[in-house]
Amino acid sequence: MNYFVTGTDTDVGKTFVSNLLIRGLRAAGLDTVGMKPICCGGREDAELLHAACDFSIPLNDVNPIWLRTPAAPYTACVIENRLIDLDAIRETFARVRREHRSLIIEGAGGWLVPITREFFVSDLAAEMKLPIVVVANNKLGAINHTLLTVRDIQARGLNCAGVILNNVEPDSDIATTTNRSVLETLLEVPILFEVQRNQSELRMGVA
């Protein structure tokens, strides 16, 4: 099983969900590994993916590009006066995919975050040709953000496998308790799971 994990925004729990997917698939007997092609700021997300796949590939394969500035990749490149080596990402991805049957790729930030002036996270996902999973923070505004992301994926002719709702905050309100049912009515793709951040179990949806 191979997926590209994107988000409706930054800090919606992509790494948390990617870790759950990697660990769950490995527990089921698949040789699943993870990649976060671009890290901006700290490298903790890549290190978590590295641990989730039991350190079975080098950290520099999990994360071939590391920008130290905590900003969008394009912004970080401008600040650091450097260019992102897209070919390094492509070559690492191709090699890791040849060597492992199951791969979870975590994007940087949201779906339309710029990597260069003319190349976005959405373009990277399109190149990799993996089914796309959208992670949404289950809060007020999630319906709008999720619909915008999913519809853009579909408009590009890409395969959106579904949405995972992540309850980042422990407290619920009218939005968090109704978002799922409303999205199930409006979306043409399934809500795969609903998860509670910092919990290790998935609450199964219609996967």
Q: What is the pLDDT of residues 1-52, one digit of tens each?
A: 899 999 999 889 999 999 999 999 999 999 999 999 999 999 999 999 999 9
**Catalytic residue annotation:** 36
The residue ranges of every structural domain in the chain are: 2-204
CATH class of the domain at 2-204: alpha beta
Residue 174, exposed/middle/buried by CB under 10 A (0-12, 13-18, 19+)? Answer: exposed
**pLDDT for res 100:** 96
State residue 146's pLDDT score: 97
Buried b (16+ CB within 10 A) or exposed e, 134-153: bbbbbbeebbebbbebbeeb
Spans of the chain, pLDDT less than 70: 197-207
Structure confidence at residue 207 (pLDDT):
27
What is the pTM for the complete model shown?
0.92
